[in-house]
Amino acid sequence: MSHPSADEITALFRGAIRSGLLGDGERLPTVRQTARDFAVAQATAAKAYRALEQDGLVVTRTAAGTRVAPGASRAPQSVIERARSLVEAGEAAGVDVEDLLAIVRAIADRQIDPNTVSDGTSDPAR
């Protein structure tokens, strides 16, 4: 695979942000780490981050690093973290992603009351 251009790296991060894969407030890797991950020069990674910042998708602060700008993602960081936890729990229990999505849709459509579904524990609040 050839080394991606700054525009291609920008497009990848833009897609991750817009799709909700990276949530509002979530920290991006450092420019140095991104350069390593994509096997490109740091200047190429920095150019991609500048483009994301110009597009209003990320905010860079010296101490806090580069983070997804508020409102740039389809979902806040807390929702993304919970979704990741759900996927991990599903994998651990042997439930595939399509079944997880069906469960989430059923709960969202109020077809399943999450307060009445037992997970085998004695805690009714779960």
In a domain, 19, yes or no: yes
- Has residue 76 got a pLDDT over 70? yes
In a domain, 81, yes or no: no
CA distances for 30 relative to 23, 35, 47, 75, angstroms: 17, 9, 13, 22
Which residue, among 41, 17, 19, has the nearest Cα to 31 in the 3D structure?
41
Angle, helices 42-54/6-19, rounded to nearest 10 degrees: 50
Higher pLDDT, 1 or 73: 73
Question: Which residues span the domain enclosing 27?
Answer: 6-68
User: What is residue 122's predicted lDDT score, i.e. its pLDDT?
Assistant: 44
Q: Quickly state the pLDDT bin for 117 (edges 50, 70, 90).
A: low
Say which CATH number the domain at 15 has: 1.10.10.10
User: What is residue 79's predicted lDDT score, i.e. its pLDDT?
Assistant: 85
In a domain, 105, yes or no: no
Structure-token pair, residue 73 = 């993602």
pLDDT, tens only, 6-42:
999 999 999 999 888 898 999 999 999 999 999 999 9
In a domain, 40, yes or no: yes
pLDDT, tens only, 79-111:
888 888 999 999 999 999 899 989 988 888 887
In a domain, 34, yes or no: yes
Going through 4-109 in order, the beta strands assigned E by DSSP cover 58-61, 65-68
Number of domains into which the chain is organized: 1
User: What is residue 42's predicted lDDT score, i.e. its pLDDT?
Assistant: 96
Task: Region of 27 please: left (phi>0), alpha (psi -120 to 50) or beta.
Answer: beta
User: What is residue 70's predicted lDDT score, i.e. its pLDDT?
Assistant: 93
pLDDT, tens only, 45-73:
999 999 999 999 999 988 889 999 999 98
